[in-house]
Chain A
Amino acid sequence: MKPSLEQLTQEFTQLIGPAAGPAPAAPAPSAVQVVDFAARGVNLDVTVAPDQVVAAAQLLDRHGFSLDTITGVDWLAQGQMEVVYDYMHFTVNLRIAVRTRVPRDQAAVPTISTVFPGANWHERETHDFFGIFFTGHPKMSPPFLLPEDADFHPLKKDYKP
């Protein structure tokens, strides 16, 4: 059964909903947003907690999505690291972005390589560039792209060569 945007929106809202807990202090932007594709390049933008990324991946795997890429972003000013998972579907024209934020000094996100084996290399690369640790990943070291003895993370905003 092919997934549709409304169905996915509903399923993600269900996924995130119970974990929202008590109302946040400041009004947070909507966690599941339908986005204008022509303006942004994705159809659905979902923000999840770090421990929900595996459930999100499983949800999308059930619907037949494929992992496009994993991007890390270093928000130095806010003291957070963001990980964005891009998903694509081969028969339905839908693009989903799942994002999560972790504190900068303790950046750890569960691995989704058990759901999507393609995440293996993407997570290794994100770890090399940002130092984000993907718990449960079979092989975090040696670095994937950097030299074998590299102990630095070049894409961090406070990286000094």
Chain B
Amino acid sequence: MTATKEVIYAGGGSLSALPQETFILNVGPQHPAAHGVLRILMEMDGEWITSAEPIVGYIHRMHEKMGENRTYAKFLPNTSRIDYLAAMHYTHAFVGVVERAAKIEVPLRAEYIRVIVAELQRISSHLVGWGAWIMDLGGLTPILYAFDDREKILDLFEHICGARLTYCYHRFGGVCNDVDDFFLQGTRDFVPYMRKRLKMYRDLVTDNIIVRKRLEGIGIMDAEMCRRYGATGPVLRGAGVPYDVRRAEPYSIYAQFDFEIPHYPQGDSMARYLVRMDEMEQSLRIIEQALDQIPAGPVMGKVPRVLRLPAGDYCYAVEAGRGRFMIRLVSDGKDTAYRLKLRTPCLSNLSPFAEACRGMILPDALAMLGSLDLVIPDIDR
């Protein structure tokens, strides 16, 4: 049950008649729970929040301008840094929009590899989000376990592209390196290992009474609020709407895989939590199917030497760990983009926060902030 002021003061009519003074509290930009450089200007009445306004822009690097100043190939490394926990997804979106515009064919093996690394990235991203969130709630141990699992994924990624965080693995027309048996076998071994770990996390953390008391009924964002603000991803699926870009606008070869879209109707932080845990399980399913079906073949298609896209505007959307990531590319026929718009999920996920946390208590607001799984460079680009 959410603790709003009305509930706690129920029956105490005389209390609310006292003159109330509010004070301003700045949560961030330097703060252990701010998930990055996010500042939330809170006006507080004691422990209750009367208004909360997120102020962003502390890590604004203007990737969109960089997109206009660089050729398409030179912008590829930028994509990993927009949201460093979804680097594979974002690079995939960028190569996807260029391939869509230039009508470049991608070989099937490369598509399978892209799906496998995307799903591994999704698991890695959810592990960080989960661990950091539980750490915000005071449980300082699960994040270390999550990072332990993530090490295995990062080792696999390091094997194929040499980087642990910002990969730049995709190229226009495919991927830059083929995967070898070490990677495929390592991924195959990872799947049952991760299933065991997910079960352990369910027993130790999800079923923990304190975690449940902290998350159930807290920070309700219903489907209508998500629609009005454009929130997507686990935030929207936690509100009961089974919207997933992999099903709505099927890209790559996702249409061939059999997976569910986990969604829970309650709209509270616990629903968003359960959506993420279930999504990790579904990602493992997709990885298994992809490993079984991956064909032999080339991993790069034919790409013109100097890439000039036909004039016009193109869109491409992917389902990143945090929600829908879309790129809108306006081209005027030259070898750099005329306008590159990055539609990031965290910005839309954070915008309902001001409305949703009015009247909440500070610890609940911070639990809700953790449930949105924000990466601030994603908001600021």
Contacts and interface: CB of A to CB of B under 8 A. Distances in A.
Are A and B in contact, CB atoms below 8 Å, in the complex?
yes
Q: Most chain-A CB neighbours within 10 Å: which of B56, B248, B314?
A: B248
B251 to A, nearest CB: 10
A153 to B, nearest CB: 11
Binding site secondary structure of chain B: mixed
B326 A86 contact: yes
Contact of B324 (A41, A42, A68, A91): A68
Interface string B103-121: 1000000000000000000
Interface in A26-42: 37-42
A133 interface: no
Interface in B40-93: 56-57, 60, 62, 64-65, 68
Given A73-B339, A117-B351, A93 B57 contact: no
For A41, A84, A90, the residue with the greatest tally of chain B CB atoms inside 10 Å of its CB is A41
A50 interface: no
B315 interface: yes
A79 to B, nearest CB: 15
B33 interface: no
Contacts of A90: 227, 236, 241, 243, 248
A37 B248 CA distance: 12
Contacts, number: 101
A93 B248 contact: yes
A155 B56 contact: no
Nearest to A67: B230
Interface residues of A, number: 36
A42 B339 CA distance: 17
Interface stretch (B4-12, B165-173, B340-348, B364-372): B340-348
Contacts of A39: 100, 103, 314
Interface footprint category on B: 35 or more
Interface string B271-293: 00000000000000000000000
Contact of A155 (B64, B97, B313, B381): B64
A150 B339 CA distance: 21
Contacts of A86: 315, 326, 328, 343
A143 interface: yes
B305 interface: no
Interface string B328-363: 101000000011010100011001100100000000
Interface of A: 37-42, 64, 66-69, 71-74, 84, 86, 88, 90-91, 93, 95, 97, 116-118, 120-121, 129, 143-147, 154-155
Return the 6 tightest CB-CB contacts between A and B, nearest first. Answer: A41-B315, A118-B229, A69-B343, A71-B341, A118-B230, A90-B243
